[in-house]
Amino acid sequence: MNRVYRLFDVMIAAGALLVAMPVLAIVAVALRLETPGPMIFRQQRLGMGKRPFTVYKLRTMCAEADPTVHREYVRQLVDGKERQQSDGRQNLYKLVADDRITRVGRVLRRLSLDEIPQLYNVLRGEMSIVGPRPVISYEAEIYPPAYDRRFQVRPGLTGLWQVSGRSTRTYHQMVMMDIEWVEQRSLRLYLSIVARTPRALLGRTAA
């Protein structure tokens, strides 16, 4: 079955990258015009078995942005202290009132376009189309033991959390949905999540 998941991962990622090429070209120009710095943001994450890998995203912040703000925010989330954002929602991992984010970056985040380069991670076999969100190492360091089950599969671009009220869920609920995928994953559920993802993104954008 893992080979079947891998086949679908490669087919979907390759097709999506081809479609996204014109978007990436436009974004590259916009990023260069607004602020200096690379187009691609690289960050170490933990994958299956807690093996570290480099995740690729479109840069949404000013170059050399201090990660301390996000690190403290994640610590509060794991501790169950969700902080309401200025738009009235939880917005896990999406700090709305963050002056490190550029104007172009805000648009990319709102549309989740900043995650397009992770399709390359999928092609490399480090990620899957569907799976738990890839975890930052300092995040995993403060995990309770029960959360480690999410590392039994490859992290994904989308998952149960993303299509089940992403911004309205607590951190613990998000992790439990990741674990639910690990324990109940099937090709039918995989395809269902893939099919529901565009609608979930459009609905979140319009909210």
pTM: 0.85
pLDDT digits (tens, 9 = 90+) for 36-49: 888 999 999 999 99
Average pLDDT of the chain, as a whole number: 86
Residue ranges covered by each domain of the chain: 2-201
Cα–Cα dist 193/162, whole Å: 9
What DSSP letter does each residue of 145-165 carry, written as one string?
A: GGGGGGGGS--EEE-TTTTTT
Task: Provide the pLDDT confidence category of residue 184 given band limits of 50, 70 and 90.
Answer: very high
Phi, psi of 180 (to 5 degrees): -60, -40
